[in-house]
Amino acid sequence: METIIEIRSLTKRFGELTAVDHLDLTVAKGEIFGLVGPDGAGKTTTLRMLCGLMDPSEGSARVAGHDVARDSRAVKDQIGYMAQRFGLYQDLTVEENMVFYADLFGITGETRAQLTAQLLRMTRMEPFRTRPAGQLSGGMKQKLALMCTLLHRPRILFLDEPTNGVDPVSRRDFWAILYQLLKDGITIFMTTAYLDEAERCNRVGLMHKGKLIRCATPGAMKAETGSATLEGAFIQTIHAVDGATA
Amino acid sequence: MSYRRMRAVCIKELHHITRDSRSLALALLLPVLMLLLFGFALSLDVDRIPTMIYDQDQTAESRALVRQFEGSKFFEIRGMVGDYGAIERGIDRSRILMGVVIPRDYSRQLGAGREAQVQLLLDGSDSNTASIALGYAESLVRNYSLELRTLALNRRAGGHLAPPVDARLRVWYNSSLESKNYVVPGLIAVILQIIAALLTSLTIAREWEMGTMEQILSTPLRPAEMVLGKMFAYFAVGLADAGIAVLVGVFVFRVPFRGSLPLLAVSTCVFLFGALFWGIFISASARTQAAAYQMGILSSFLPAFLLSGFIYSIETMPWVIQVITYIIPARYVVTILKGIFLKGVGLSVLWGELGLLTLYALIVFVLTTRKLNQKLV
């Protein structure tokens, strides 16, 4: 299998605090990988480094064949990043936001028209194209944000808690779109606080205090700890690590 | 540098500007308000100084001197009084600014050909006006005494003697010496500086606060494209403001416009570039809108107002302050605007100022791009 994300000893320090501590991980092309863990475990920081928004203090990462620190612009052309917080312009309409991002990624003319139409259809957002983003529901905002990251046909999608605060129906819709994208060969790297979402990933990585303490398929994790649920497996793993260091 | 990405940012900013009609109205009305307010309030002309006269002498000679004061447009006699107390009370209650006391022996001294003295009492709590009033009163009394002396000499000599030196004054460029003529062009420069900084000082801080910056940073957009795109969007507003301010200056304040309109346009554009970049620089440094707003006001209003030579002439400042004024762009644009409006001078005189404004704009642009080049944390 082709490796598309390769992380070696990736570390980020903020003063005294080590937010991400010597993380090693590889993700294969076409995989959906979920990063889980308690708040403050370093998930968002990891994601930001992989997207070239932040430089690592130590270690390196290659995303789609490019070094994230040295070649962040090349990385940005290959990826779509959706921040945890809604990052689009509330006073611009759905369409204006999409046109803006299409321009930033150099998608113009016929390609843009086709892609925009296709995305609006896929997300069932066509009726709302002239509505200001600020007047959309939480679920629709997420869909809009997702569309804006997909306009340049990225090879990898980085999603930071994409369905946080979104109602269950919208979450189901959102996942339907993600599965569609996976079918088209995109790789998804996401963080999530919802364990039913983690369950849908090919593999999950459990982060705790900046370290990746476990990385396996959801099934393997449950089997190892003998828990019926992924939640139980995580809690046991975290306690085991805390117990060992204490 | 991609023109398309820059244009995308510019269009996006224009959407923000036009959707926020309240801010836009404010941005366009503010220069008019400020110009009217400052233009009328900042009259530095000192005339019709309220004056009381205490004439102890009460002779034909003393009354002739009083008539001199009455006839001058610089003084307005608010009363002839009979004691010092009245003058003192007048000054205390700010009813008058000056008291003139003609002593009892005035006509006697004058008749004897000796020096006659006149006492001037001034309210020094407004030292600027007081010193101007003092100057007027002194010159009035001096001219009058010279006139008397010449008259006496002529009478004695039986002939005609001209005063030894007769200064014929001709003031250039602002021949009526009206302060509005030099306040208004400077004011236009100061107002543009403030507006420009206010327009752009929020633009990047807002993106940080709203969380839109992080999303933008994940795209291939370069800092230079972002800075230029934002600058050109607000440039449209700034240019409209400049046009409004010039029209108000010429048609409401009737400031003479003697120079070249294209030169005015070019210098205004160059100045706006620099001032708008400065606002963006502040915005990029502050990260919160409140801090950016305060820094924007402080760093544009105060230097432009105090150190540009718009009211307070730079030549009379201590040398340390004079050195500082060289890095204040408003200084150059004040010189340019006064030069174009009042003197009608062209590029052959103002090229240095224009060059320095261009340099300033370039430096701030580079600094801003550097500032934005930093990644998250």
List pLDDT tens digits, range B171-192. 666 666 677 787 888 888 888 9
Work out the minimum CA distance from A88 to partner chain B, whole angstroms.
Answer: 6
Give the pLDDT mean for A147-172.
91
Whether pLDDT at B34 is above 70: yes
Chain A residues 206-235 with CB within 8 Å of chain B: none
- In what helix (H) or strand (E) does residue B55 lie, and over which residues does it extend? strand B49-55
CB atoms within 10 A of CB B11: 17
**Which residue in chain A has the smallest CA separation from B19?**
A91
**Which residue in chain A has the smallest CA separation from B6?**
A104
Q: Please give the share of chain B, as a percent, with pLDDT higher than 90.
A: 36
Joined together, the tokens standing for residue A91 give 């006073």
- Across the interface, of B7, B20, B215, the residue whose CB is closest to A83 is B215
Whether pLDDT at B15 is above 70: yes
- In what helix (H) or strand (E) does residue B27 lie, and over which residues does it extend? helix B21-41
Contact A91 B11 (CB under 8 A): no
Give the pLDDT mean for A88-105.
95
Question: What integer pLDDT is reported at residue B187 of this predicted model?
Answer: 87
- Where does CATH 3.40.1710.10 sit in chain B? 49-157
Is the minimum CB–CB distance between A52 and chain B shorter than 8 Å?
A: yes
Whether pLDDT at B169 is above 70: no
Contact B4 A101 (CB under 8 A): no
Question: What integer pLDDT is reported at residue A95 of this predicted model?
Answer: 94
Q: How many angstroms separate the Cα of A204 from the Cα of each of A88, A233, B45?
A: 29, 12, 79
Contact B221 A104 (CB under 8 A): yes
Q: Kindly list the strands in the beta sheet with A79-82, ordered across the sheet, starting from the edge strand earlier in the chain.
A: A79-82, A156-160, A187-191, A32-36, A203-208, A211-216
Whether pLDDT at B157 is above 80: no
Kindly report which listed range (A39-53, B26-40, B89-103, B108-122) carries the lowest average pLDDT score: B108-122
Q: List chain B residues with CB under 8 Å of A83.
A: 211, 214-215, 218
Contact A73 B220 (CB under 8 A): yes
Q: List chain A residues with CB under 8 Å of B4.
A: 103, 106, 108
Q: How confident is the model at residue B243 (pLDDT cuts 50, 70, 90)?
A: very high
- Across the interface, of A51, A91, A149, the residue whose CB is closest to B16 is A91
Contact A87 B211 (CB under 8 A): yes
**Which residue in chain B has the smallest CA separation from A92?**
B15
- Across the interface, of B16, B210, B220, the residue whose CB is closest to A104 is B220
Q: How far is it, in rounded angstroms, from Cα B234 to Cα B198?
A: 10
Q: Which of B46, B103, B78, B65 is nearest to B87 (CA)?
A: B78
Q: How many CB pairs under 8 A join A and B?
A: 81
Contact A73 B214 (CB under 8 A): no
Is the minimum CB–CB distance between A105 and chain B shorter than 8 Å?
A: yes
Give the pLDDT mean for A207-231.
90
Q: Please give the share of chain A, as a percent, with pLDDT higher than 70.
A: 99
Is the minimum CB–CB distance between A75 and chain B shorter than 8 Å?
A: no
Q: What is the ipTM metric for this complex?
A: 0.90
Q: Please give the share of chain B, as a percent, with pLDDT higher than 70.
A: 93
Question: What integer pLDDT is reported at residue A230 of this predicted model?
Answer: 87
Architecture of the domain whose range is B49-157: 3-Layer(aba) Sandwich (3.40)
Tell me the three-class secondary structure of chain A, residue by residue: CCEEEEEEEEEEEECCEEEEEEEEEEEECCCEEEEECCCCCCHHHHHHHHCCCCCCCEEEEEECCEECCCCHHHHHHHEEEECCCCCCCCCCEHHHHHHHHHHHCCCCHHHHHHHHHHHHHHCCCHHHCCCEHHHCCHHHHHHHHHHHHHCCCCCEEEEECCCCCCCHHHHHHHHHHHHHHHHCCCEEEEECCCHHHHHCCCEEEEEECCEEEEEECHHHHHHHHCCCCHHHHHHHHHHHHHHHHC
What is the set of domains in chain A, with CATH numbers?
A: 3-245 (3.40.50.300)
**Which residue in chain B has the smallest CA separation from A108?**
B4
Chain A residues 77-96 with CB within 8 Å of chain B: 77, 79-83, 85-92, 96
Q: List chain A residues with CB under 8 Å of B7.
A: 103
Q: List chain B residues with CB under 8 Å of A57.
A: none
Give the pLDDT mean for A84-104.
94
Work out the minimum CA distance from B20 to partner chain A, whole angstroms.
Answer: 9
DSSP-derived secondary structure letter, B340: I
pLDDT per residue as tens digits for the range B251-302: 998 888 889 999 999 999 999 999 999 999 999 898 789 999 899 888 888 8
pLDDT per residue as tens digits for the range B48-83: 889 999 999 998 888 888 988 888 888 889 889 988
Give the pLDDT mean for B345-351.
87
- Across the interface, of A80, A87, A92, the residue whose CB is closest to B15 is A92
In degrees, rounded to 5, the angle at the alpha carbon of residue B368 between the alpha carbons of residues B362 and B371 is: 145
Is the minimum CB–CB distance between A108 and chain B shorter than 8 Å?
A: yes
Cβ neighbours of residue B162 closer than 8 Å, sequence gap 6 or more? B150
Q: List chain A residues with CB under 8 Å of B219.
A: 76, 101, 104-105
Work out the minimum CA distance from B221 to partner chain A, whole angstroms.
Answer: 6
Cβ neighbours of residue A25 closer than 8 Å, sequence gap 6 or more? A5, A7, A205, A212, A215
Confirm if A78 and A63 have CB atoms less than 8 A apart.
yes
Whether pLDDT at B377 is above 60: no
Q: List chain B residues with CB under 8 Å of A89.
A: 12, 15-16, 210, 212
Joined together, the tokens standing for residue B219 give 């795209």
Confirm if B241 and B27 have CB atoms less than 8 A apart.
yes
Whether pLDDT at A169 is above 60: yes
Question: What integer pLDDT is reported at residue B279 of this predicted model?
Answer: 93
Q: List chain A residues with CB under 8 Å of B217.
A: 53
Q: How far is it, in rounded angstroms, from Cα A46 to Cα A54?
A: 9
Question: What integer pLDDT is reported at residue A131 of this predicted model?
Answer: 96
Pairing mode, if any, of strands B49-55 and B75-81? parallel
Question: What integer pLDDT is reported at residue B373 of this predicted model?
Answer: 78
Contact A53 B376 (CB under 8 A): yes
Question: What integer pLDDT is reported at residue A29 of this predicted model?
Answer: 95
**Which residue in chain A has the smallest CA separation from B14?**
A92
Confirm if B103 and B57 have CB atoms less than 8 A apart.
yes
Work out the minimum CA distance from B358 to partner chain A, whole angstroms.
Answer: 29
Give the pLDDT mean for A71-88.
92
Q: Which position has the token pair 């009492």?
A: B121
Q: List chain A residues with CB under 8 Å of B216.
A: 87, 104
Q: How far is it, in rounded angstroms, from Cα B355 to Cα B27?
A: 28
Q: How far is it, in rounded angstroms, from Cα B127 to Cα B121?
A: 13
pTM given for the model: 0.81
Q: List chain A residues with CB under 8 Å of B212.
A: 87-89
Is the minimum CB–CB distance between A134 and chain B shorter than 8 Å?
A: no
Q: List chain A residues with CB under 8 Å of B15.
A: 89, 91-92, 96
Q: Which of A15, A26, A18 is nearest to A60 (CA)?
A: A26
Question: What integer pLDDT is reported at residue B163 of this predicted model?
Answer: 62
Question: What integer pLDDT is reported at residue B327 of this predicted model?
Answer: 87
Whether pLDDT at B147 is above 90: no
End-to-end CA distance of chain A: 39
Residues of chain B contacting A, Cβ within 8 Å = 2, 4-5, 7-8, 11-12, 15-16, 19-20, 210-221, 375-377
Contact B214 A53 (CB under 8 A): yes
Confirm if B226 and B373 have CB atoms less than 8 A apart.
no
